[in-house]
Amino acid sequence: MNLVALPAFADNYIWMLHDGHKAVVVDPGDAAPVVAALDRHGLSLAAILVTHHHADHVGGIEALRPRLQGPVYGPAHEAIPQPFTPLNGGDRVDVLGLQFDVIDVPGHTAGHIAYAQQGAPSHALLFCGDTLFSAGCGRLFEGTPAQMHASLSALAALPADTRVCCTHEYTQSNLRFAAAVEPDNPAVRLHQAYCKVLRDQDKPTLPSSLALELQINPFLRCREPAVVAAARAQGAASTEPVDVLAALREWKNNFR
């Protein structure tokens, strides 16, 4: 099975899985890069997975329907272009012979879902949309810090070697923030240097791994003393992880 990140817009990736014959794409905000990739590799489109309703994740669905030979799967409680197969946390979908568990991850949007591969011997795939980014998390447009904390905790509990397929190339700017939160975290500095090499060659910094995110992502490190102290200095109401996350998110919203 091949995993490809198709760049779209300024900083989106449309993830494509294919076996040389059939393909699945995740969050096709734009049809053009998907059609180009299908044609380039001679693939049919077997299914579309959607994580949430934002236009940069669903905008290409209508234009892809003539090529689509299977369902559009999406979150049951969001306005996804009809028709689609609605999914809730706990559901399981089967695409290209791979099984994905659906996890409810509200916070960025109210009905956001993620797709976590089950039954892989190693390096299972996670398609997490705009919930978990490398070294960051999505903005809280429709949810609360408590929801985002619960959502990130659910994702963080997946196997450490899980491949984290986020939808945006925000890694370098997120790492600048992570370095401000934890100036003494060597893993952040190391990964900054590595990502600079990748981006200078126009390569994606993704997928990441959960093991790496647990080392560098301040939003997954809300119990780390250094992160707690930095959040408290920014006005976190307490040392509780939810308050730490709330303060980090607020700080990041205004961080340049």
Q: Which residues are the active-site residues?
A: 52, 54, 56-57, 108, 130, 168
169 touches Zn ion by CB under 5 A: no
The helix/strand count (H/E) of the chain reads as: 9, 14
54 touches Zn ion by CB under 5 A: yes
Residue 141: CB minimum distance to Zn ion, A = 7
Residue 125's SS3 state is strand
**Residues near 203 by beta carbon (within 8 Å), at least 6 away in sequence:** none
Task: For Zn ion, give the closer residue by CB, 27 or 101.
Answer: 27
Q: Which stretch binds Zn ion (CB under 5 A): 63-71, 93-101, 113-121, 126-134?
A: 126-134
**Residues near 161 by beta carbon (within 8 Å), at least 6 away in sequence:** 122, 123, 124, 209, 210, 211
Residue 78: CB minimum distance to Zn ion, A = 11
Q: How far apart are CA 45 and CA 154, in angstroms?
A: 30
53 touches Zn ion by CB under 5 A: no
130, 182, 213, 243: which one contacts Zn ion (CB under 5 A)? 130
Q: Which stretch binds Zn ion (CB under 5 A): 53-61, 113-121, 192-200, 206-214?
A: 53-61
Residue 9: CB minimum distance to Zn ion, A = 9
213 touches Zn ion by CB under 5 A: no
Q: Which stretch binds Zn ion (CB under 5 A): 80-88, 128-136, 142-150, 182-190?
A: 128-136
**Residues near 25 by beta carbon (within 8 Å), at least 6 away in sequence:** 6, 14, 15, 16, 17, 34, 45, 48, 49, 64
Residue 109: CB minimum distance to Zn ion, A = 6
Task: Report the phi/psi class of residue 231: left, alpha or beta, with left for phi > 0 and alpha for psi in -120 to 50.
Answer: alpha
Comparing C-alpha atoms, which of 94, 90, 118 is closest to residue 104? 90
How many residues in the shown chain lie near Zn ion by CB under 5 A? Answer: 3
In DSSP notation, 231-251 reads HHHTT-SSSSHHHHHHHHHHH
Residue 58: CB minimum distance to Zn ion, A = 10
Q: Which stretch binds Zn ion (CB under 5 A): 18-26, 124-132, 173-181, 221-229?
A: 124-132
30 touches Zn ion by CB under 5 A: no
Instruction: Write phi, then psi, for 85 (nearest 5 degrees).
Output: -90, 110
Interaction site with Zn ion (CB under 5 A): 54, 56, 130
